Structure 1
């Protein structure tokens, strides 16, 4: 007698081995049997013609606040994602010190999410998330930018010994409360004010708890190889395992460099060092428009940034210093601009023409008018590089996006389609249609590989005794539908999703169940 039996599906167990036909029996939230369960009884799902796989693990997510705004995690769970790694790129929801809280409250887009910021520590944040309920499991990282802002604000200098110790203390607390490691966003303030030595010292604390160092590295274009080497050095010197975030090469002049950056990963691994990476399967990136400004513009506070933006002398300096690649203005398209929604989907070049201004003036004016809260989609990667990275055996899948929904407070702007389409896109476009990798390898990159990296010993594979995080998809129809100009679209072919043995997606529809857990580091 089982609580549920998934019958007649083609099992891809997450290990990379060939698919096989079997039934899967679930009891008390875990996988109790795999094989011929014809004689067994219990509620059943007819999976004939479908693939039965472990639930997908989004290795790089930004759903920290979004899951509190809408715990149904619509755009992720409908992709088959059953676990998200949050707190990436140096930004985490905790610790929420008075200084960080003040910064949060100035973010207009955060205010629209209507989330009560009533926690302080990582433990309190995770407790709030679990008490509210959430559709999928959550793995937390602590953001270096968050703890640096908490201790030092946005000052461009090295920390004092007391400040360094204060940051270490915040990391210790977060690790003791369940964080899996520390993330950095080394192109964003205030993380990019940190030198390598600071990051090594802080990562040493992470390593003492068996945690990982996950990094949006210091450069993904001209400085790609130097930035990868820095991340590897931080890991080697600190003892922390390294995860390179959304691995890519930006700018036509840098296309092909990923072959050399992947060689750096191989060399480090050959010497016994644990370094891996993740990617999203698109040729466009996404972040804030303010990230195009040089580091000195972000020093101090947002109010100071806004004052600088309207200073004629500062604007003149910016024109000389902003190192923008060829085609930047046309390749950069607005995805979120609440004061000018008519600009969403348009390039900076087009907007400049509409405003009868040059692109620099347009950028500075838009940032000032929108309180610096403008998001963009930037094209700049090559399809060949995407395939090269995907074929590397130590590359995982990560959306680099929040859980969104085509309704309510999470339906804003024209966000990058990766929020809705990352995992079905790998399965449909790259595995089935283009055969860049096999379906079994695609599933491995989404399941057992990230689970192994995170130390999740009871998830990521379809084996008896594992938690029943399961995604059932149609291998013939699974595909992404989200587009750059129409991104709020759920994918096709994700038929059923179970989290901890509970059905969250049934026949492609959300049941409203919230069985997810906050998975604390053991």
Structure 2
């Protein structure tokens, strides 16, 4: 038999959980036709010796909502073996979209996901208003990978309630019914689910919370009724999981009453109100009562890259940093190399904002045991001996001075890796049992987002 393609001698990881094995894989058109040896002839032969051959990855947590309307490739995800991306996460997206809300939706996405508004403004044609029309626009594009999306709470709330919805004002019963109807229409047209944001870290470019952040369980349960009528869908959420919000209680109720799975971002972090083990325990408590809640987990540390030319550095909240922050590269480097300026900046106390950035700022300025020199060939599971605190002690200087000198090195392009999430233990060991559990899903790449540093 003759095939279009045979991939030979590769180590096959077939996605079933079976042990890897060496085999040939035959493909015709867009289908795998055979796996084995001596499969026959092919128009094209690829030697995959010493390589893995695997099914394409499904990336369930991305933010290509705008990019998908003009880009065929969905780079960089498609460069790394991803063949399906799921968008519309965290309650932000671009449909439904009233004509006078285009710039507002762009500002919401720019603020929450750090995607340049200029790129979104130039790239999107806005040849849709309703969510089904958005799906039609996506369908009309040629694709290198498959795309799927969810109905975002922020867009729905603003579409139904206007400025009241954008400002997180309480909805009326008719508002909730209309939102549920729009979600139902989106799911019936082909959306995979619905998403919402309940974290104060998600704000528009103007500093406003994502619509739906403070939604009551009544509003969310009402939307769940629309999902139930549609007969399918996943309810996705990013939340601060504040204990007083009783998030898992209503998540369990929504899953049981609507019959849909609920998924949330589960992260280990010193700045989260609920520790990682408690998150999973509360999820499993609800599942034992008949709910279907799944945790989206990240398999590596996640955080910030700190440097003089990035958004943040350990000195960002010191008054004298304003003297150098907006200078051009050469002028800034000259300023940073001034011994008097260095001594002043290091000696100053930071003045932290009275906001959700306060704890983050305190950790950036002081937690040098959580920060690592981001050098060539960097290992993303760094040891304690590679921390700024340890290196500074060995050099006989303070952590602040070591960080200052490191970032000033290489002509001011030195960087620090600061993993705020999933690295509280100084390693990734806690993820091994989680990865092997059936109620946790590898996720949270945030593909397409966080384009800045």
Contact 2:154 2:166 in 1 (8 A): no
Aligned twin of 2:175: 163
- CA pair 352-52 structure 1, distance change in 2 beyond 3 A: farther
TM-score normalised according to structure 2 size: 0.67
**Cα-to-partner distance string for 1:150-206 (whole Å, 9 max, x where unaligned):** 112323333112211221221122112100111111124211131011101101211
2:94 aligns to what? Answer: 93
In 2, distance between residues paired with 1:378 and 1:120? 39
Quote the Cα distance in structure 1 between the aligned partners of 2:309 and 2:355: 15
Q: Where does the alignment leave 5 or more consecutive residues of structure 2 unmatched?
A: 111-115, 200-208, 324-349, 358-417
Q: Distance in 2 between matches of 1:194 and 1:252?
A: 23
Q: What are the Cα deviations for residues 227-248 of structure 1, in whole angstroms up to 9, with x where unaligned?
A: 3344233222332211113x11
- Distance of 1:215 and 1:231 partners within structure 2: 10
**Pick aligned residue for 1:176 from 157, 173, 188:** 188
Residue number among 261, 264, 286 corresponding to 1:244 in the alignment: 264
Counterpart of 2:223 (choices 195, 202, 213) is: 202
How far apart, CA to CA, are the structure 2 residues paired with 1:211 and 1:274?
A: 12
Structure with the larger RCO, 1 or 2 (CA within 8 Å, 6+ apart): 1
Distance apart, 1:224 and its partner CA: 9.3
The residue that corresponds to 2:119 in the other structure is 112
Among 235, 238, 251, the residue aligned to 1:213: 235
Residue 430 of structure 2 aligns with which residue? Answer: 388
Structure 1 unpaired stretches of 5+ = 286-331, 336-340, 365-376, 405-409, 415-522
What RMSD, in angstroms, separates the aligned Cα atoms of the two structures?
Answer: 3.2
CA positional deviation for 1:18: 1.1
Note the C-alpha offset of 1:27: 1.6
CA distance in 2, matches of 1:402, 1:47: 27
Alpha-carbon shift at residue 57 of structure 1 (Å): 0.9
Indicate how the Cα distance of structure 1 residues 144 and 283 shifts in structure 2: closer, same or farther if over 3 A, else same: same
Paired residues of 1:204 and 1:239 also in contact (CA < 8 A): no
Q: Does 1:228 align with 2:248?
A: yes
Q: Is the 8 A contact 1:334 1:343 kept in 2?
A: yes
Maintained 8 Å contact 2:78/2:145: yes
Look up the match of 1:150. Answer: 159
SS of the equivalent of 1:170 reads helix
Maintained 8 Å contact 1:13/1:53: yes
Q: Hey, what does 1:126 align to over in structure 2?
A: 135
Aligned mates of 1:230, 1:334 — CA distance in 2: 38
What is the CA–CA distance in structure 1 between the aligned matches of 2:80 and 2:71, rounded to whole Å?
Answer: 16
From 273, 277, 283, the counterpart of 2:301:
283
Residue-by-residue CA offset, 1:252-271 (whole Å, 9 max, x unaligned): 6868x222322233333344
Quick one: distance in 2 between partners of 1:63 and 1:46? Answer: 33
- Residue from 347, 359, 365 that aligns with 2:352: 359
Aligned to 2:346: none
Who wins on radius of gyration, i.e. which is larger?
Answer: 2
| Aligned partner of residue 192 in structure 1, secondary structure | coil
1:351–1:232 distance in 2 versus 1, CA, 3 Å: farther
Q: What secondary structure sits across from 2:11 in the alignment?
A: strand
Q: How does 1:263-412 map to 2 (within 5 A)?
A: 263-285=281-303, 342-347=309-314, 349-350=316-317, 352-355=319-322, 358-360=351-353, 379-384=420-425, 387-389=429-431, 391-392=433-434, 393=437, 394-403=439-448
TM-score under structure 1 length normalisation: 0.59
Shift of 1:13: 1.0
Q: How many pairs align? A: 342
Q: Is the 8 A contact 2:180 2:224 kept in 1?
A: no
How far the C-alpha of 1:213 sits from its partner, in A, is 0.8
